[in-house]
C-alpha cells in the first residue's frame, strides 16, 4: 500500500522549467549522452548557436569548413564510437550540403541525427531567403525526418530521432527546426528518452522454427560458407559471431564494411568478397553447398551476375531488416532478427564440426593469389612504389591496431584488401555510395569518437582535393590525424576501367595536384613527400611518431591496377587474377 507521501508524490504536477526551444534541444542532446557536435552556423540556426555559447562546458562543437565535411565527420564519429553522430547546419545551402552525407549514411546504415535550421514558420512556402524544402529533399535519403514549427515538440521529436537513428537497422534522421521554434519559450517538463513508437518495429520477432531449419542445413552441409557484413558490427555481435563460426568450423569471408568483426589473422577468416576481393572466396562462392549470409545485403559489387550467383547452394540469410531478405538473392531459410540474438540461438542448435578439407581449398587458392598478385603488390623487388607496400608497412608499424579511414578509388580497395585489423571498428570507408572526399572529414570524426586510437586516413590525389579544406578543421581543433596521400597522378579507378574496357582511351583522368606539403604547412600541419622505397618506412615512422596531425604524400606507380577483379557483367567465379 502506498504511503500518504507516495500518493502525494504520484499526483503532484511535474516540475517544469521555462526555456527556449534552442535550450531544450541542447538539454536533450546532453540527456542522450552527446558529447561532440560537428557543424557550421548560419542565419536560420543562429538561435541554437547562441544557446550553445552557454553550453560549451557540456557540449564540444567542432567547426568544420563545409557542411559535407560536417556530416562525414559525424559519420566517422559514429562508426568509430558506436554512438549516434550529430551535425548542425543552417537552412538552404547549408542543409542541401548535407544530402551527399545523408545518402552515404543511409546506404551504409550509419546512425546520425542532423539538425537543420529553417526560416520562420510564417515564411514557409514563400521562397524566403535560404528557404529550401529540406523535408522533401531529404526524404529519400533518411530513415526519418520531421519539421518542427513549435518549440513544445522539440523534446519528444528529438527523443524519437535518437531512438529511430540508433535502433534496428541504423540510419540518418533529419530534424528541421524553424527559427521561431528555436526562439519560442515554453514550459519544458524535462527530457524523456524514447524506447517505443507504436508504428515502428526496429527488431523483427525471431522465429525459432527458422533457426532450427537453418541449423539443420548447416549440420548437413559438406561445404558451408559464411559471408558476413557490417550487421555483425552494428549489432555489437562480434563475440557471438566468433563463437558461431568456431563451433561450426566454417570458412568465413567479409564485405568491406564487415571487416574487423574478427581479426584478419583468424584461421577461419578467408578474405574479402566482391569485385576486388580475394580469389578464393569469390571462386568458391559458386562451389559451396550452404551459403550463410549474416548482416549483409548482397550488394551487386559482392554478387556479380545474380543469375550466376551461388545457384548450387542453399541460402540462409540472417538480417535485422526484412526488406533485405529475398531482395537480391532468394533465401531458402530467412532468419529475421538482431544477429546478437539470432546467432547464439543458431549456435545452440548446430553441431561442433571442422571442415578441414573444405578450408584447405580456400588456402590453396589463396596461395595462388599470393604467387600471382599479392607478393608483387606488397613486396615488389624494384620499380616504382606500389600502394600495397605502403599499406603493408603501415601494418608492420601499427601492428594492425590502427583505425584506417579510406576514401574511394584504387587506394580504397588496396587498403581494404591488405590492411590488418585486430580490432573491431577499424575500417571506416564509404561503401554503398562510394563518396569521394569522405575520408579526411570522416577521419577527423573517427578520432573524436575514439581518441585513444591511432587514426590514419588513406586518400587518393583525387579524393583529397574534394574536401581538402577540412585541414582547417584539423588546425583549429588540434586533433591528431595522420593523412597518407597515395598519389598516382590519375583518377586511378576510372583510369583502370578505361584501360581495361575502353581501349586505354584516357578521357579526363589525368589530375594535377598542388604541393600538398606546402598546403598542409599553410594549415599549420607538418608533412613530407617521398617517391622512393628506401625512404618509405622511415617516413611512415616519422609520421606515426609525430605529436599531432601529419600529412605524408607518397608518389606511387601511375598505372598500377587493382587485381583480382570481377569484370562487370561476369560471375564471381570468373574473377581475373591479371
| Complete DSSP assignment for 295-362 | S----HHHHBSGGGSSTTSEEEEEES-GGGTTTSS--SEEEES-HHHHHHHHHHHSPP---HHHHHHH
Check if 5 is active-site: no
Check if 129 is active-site: yes
Check if 130 is active-site: yes
Check if 67 is active-site: yes
Catalytic residue of the set 179, 223, 420, 447: 179
**Cell triple for 126:** 514563400
DSSP 141: G
In 167-230, where does DSSP find H-type helix? 179-183, 208-220
Catalytic residue of the set 60, 83, 120, 130: 130
Closest by CA to 445, choosing from 35, 75, 98, is 75
| Complete DSSP assignment for 401-436 | -SEEEE-SSHHHHHHHHH----SSS-EEE--SS--T
- Quote the CA–CA distance of 225 and 309 in Å, as a whole number: 14
Catalytic residue of the set 23, 27, 32, 67: 67
The residue length of the chain stands at 578
Catalytic residue of the set 275, 413, 493, 565: 493
341 burial (CB, 10 Å; 0-12 / 13-18 / 19+) is middle
Report the alpha-carbon angle 27-32-35, nearest 5. 80
- Quote the CA–CA distance of 470 and 316 in Å, as a whole number: 43
Catalytic residue of the set 6, 7, 58, 129: 129
Residue identified by cell 577468416 is: 269
Check if 493 is active-site: yes
**Which residues belong to the active site?**
67, 129-130, 179, 493
Amino acid at each position: 500500500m502506498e504511503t500518504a507521501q507516495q500518493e502525494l508524490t504520484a499526483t503532484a504536477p511535474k516540475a517544469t522549467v521555462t526555456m527556449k526551444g534552442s535550450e531544450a534541444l541542447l538539454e536533450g542532446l546532453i540527456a542522450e549522452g552527446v558529447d561532440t557536435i560537428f557543424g557550421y552556423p548560419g542565419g536560420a540556426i543562429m538561435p541554437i548557436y547562441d544557446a550553445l555559447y552557454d553550453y560549451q562546458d557540456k557540449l564540444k562543437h567542432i567547426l568544420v569548413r563545409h557542411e559535407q565535411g560536417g556530416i562525414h565527420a559525424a559519420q566517422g564519429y559514429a562508426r568509430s564510437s558506436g554512438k549516434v553522430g550529430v551535425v548542425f547546419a543552417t537552412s538552404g545551402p547549408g542543409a542541401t550540403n548535407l544530402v551527399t552525407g545523408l545518402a552515404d549514411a543511409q546506404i551504409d546504415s550509419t546512425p546520425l541525427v542532423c539538425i537543420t535550421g529553417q526560416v520562420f514558420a510564417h515564411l514557409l512556402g514563400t521562397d524566403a531567403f535560404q528557404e529550401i524544402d529540406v523535408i522533401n529533399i531529404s526524404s529519400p535519403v533518411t530513415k526519418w525526418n520531421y519539421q518542427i514549427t513549435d518549440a513544445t515538440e522539440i523534446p519528444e521529436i528529438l527523443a524519437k530521432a535518437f531512438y529511430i537513428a540508433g535502433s534496428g537497422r541504423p540510419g540518418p534522421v533529419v530534424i528541421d527546426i524553424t527559427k521561431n521554434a528555436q526562439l519560442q519559450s515554453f514550459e519544458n517538463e524535462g527530457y524523456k528518452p524514447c524506447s517505443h513508437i507504436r508504428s515502428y518495429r526496429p527488431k523483427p520477432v525471431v522465429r525459432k522454427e527458422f533457426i532450427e531449419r537453418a541449423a539443420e542445413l548447416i549440420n548437413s552441409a559438406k561445404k558451408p560458407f559464411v559471408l558476413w557484413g557490417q550487421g555483425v558490427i552494428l549489432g555489437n555481435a562480434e563475440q557471438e559471431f566468433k563463437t558461431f563460426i568456431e563451433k561450426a568450423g566454417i570458412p568465413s569471408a567479409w564485405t568491406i564494411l564487415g571487416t574487423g568483426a574478427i581479426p584478419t589473422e583468424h584461421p577461419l577468416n578467408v578474405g574479402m568478397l566482391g569485385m576486388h576481393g580475394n580469389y578464393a572466396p569469390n571462386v568458391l562462392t559458386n562451389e559451396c553447398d550452404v551459403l550463410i549470409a549474416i548482416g549483409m545485403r548482397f550488394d551487386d559489387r559482392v554478387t556479380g551476375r545474380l543469375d550466376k550467383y551461388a545457384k548450387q547452394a542453399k541460402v540462409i540469410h540472417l538480417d535485422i531488416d526484412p526488406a533485405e531478405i529475398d531482395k537480391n538473392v532468394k533465401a531458402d531459410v530467412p532468419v529475421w532478427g538482431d544477429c546478437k540474438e539470432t546467432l547464439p540461438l543458431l549456435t545452440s542448435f548446430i553441431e561442433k564440426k571442422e571442415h578441414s578439407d573444405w578450408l584447405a581449398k580456400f588456402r590453396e587458392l589463396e596461395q595462388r593469389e599470393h604467387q600471382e598478385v599479392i607478393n608483387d603488390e606488397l613486396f615488389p623487388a624494384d620499380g616504382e612504389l606500389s600502394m600495397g607496400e605502403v599499406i603493408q608497412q603501415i601494418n608492420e608499424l601499427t601492428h594492425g591496431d590502427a583505425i584506417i579511414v579510406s576514401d574511394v578509388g584504387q587506394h580504397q580497395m588496396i587498403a581494404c584488401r591488405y590492411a590488418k585489423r585486430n580490432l573491431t571498428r577499424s575500417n571506416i570507408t564509404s561503401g554503398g555510395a562510394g563518396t569521394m572526399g569522405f575520408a579526411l572529414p570522416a577521419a577527423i570524426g573517427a578520432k573524436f569518437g575514439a581518441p585513444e586510437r591511432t587514426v590514419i586516413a588513406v586518400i587518393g590525389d583525387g579524393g583529397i582535393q574534394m574536401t581538402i579544406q577540412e585541414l582547417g578543421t584539423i588546425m583549429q581543433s588540434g586533433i591528431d590525424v595522420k593523412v597518407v596521400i597515395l598519389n598516382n597522378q590519375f583518377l586511378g579507378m576510372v583510369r583502370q576501367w578505361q584501360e581495361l574496357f575502353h581501349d586505354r582511351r584516357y578521357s579526363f583522368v589525368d589530375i594535377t595536384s598542388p604541393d600538398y606539403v606546402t598546403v598542409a604547412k599553410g594549415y599549420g600541419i607538418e608533412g613530407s613527400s617521398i617517391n622512393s622505397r628506401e625512404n618509405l618506412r622511415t617516413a611512415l615512422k616519422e609520421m606515426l611518431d609525430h605529436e599531432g596531425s601529419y600529412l605524408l604524400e607518397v608518389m606511387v606507380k601511375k598505372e598500377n591496377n587493382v587485381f583480382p577483379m570481377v569484370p562487370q557483367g561476369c560471375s564471381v567465379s570468373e574473377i581475373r587474377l591479371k
